[in-house]
Amino acid sequence: MPDMLSNRYDAVRLAAFNHAAKQGTPEMEDLAVRIKQFQFRDIRSKAASEIGDLKAASELLDHTEEEITQKVCVYRGGAAG
């Protein structure tokens, strides 16, 4: 049961990878590689990095100091790459 979400994530990631890979353009092939590299555990820091406020991101991750959030998430004050 605990692996259910992770398994669903893996299935969707594989479908996205396959879709991008079969497009046949260099841009989509690059996207396919990046999709394949993205892991379920990356979602947590990605969600925090999308928040436009460091304090709110730090609270979301339950960090005791904003500096931790900035270091761990490569926080950029909004959308991250």
Instruction: State how far the Cα of 50 lies from the Cα of 79, in Å rounded to an integer.
Output: 5
Residue 19 pLDDT grade (very low, low, confident, very high; cuts 50, 70, 90): very high
Contact 57, 69 (CB under 8 A): yes
**Residue pLDDT, tens place only, 22-50:** 999 999 999 999 999 988 888 888 888 88
Indicate if the pLDDT at residue 79 is higher than 50. no
C-alpha separations of 17 from 7, 21, 45 in Å: 15, 6, 21
Instruction: State how far the Cα of 52 lies from the Cα of 76, in Å rounded to an integer.
Output: 8
pTM above 0.95, yes or no: no
Could you state, in order of their start, the residue ranges of all structural domains in the chain? 1-40, 43-81
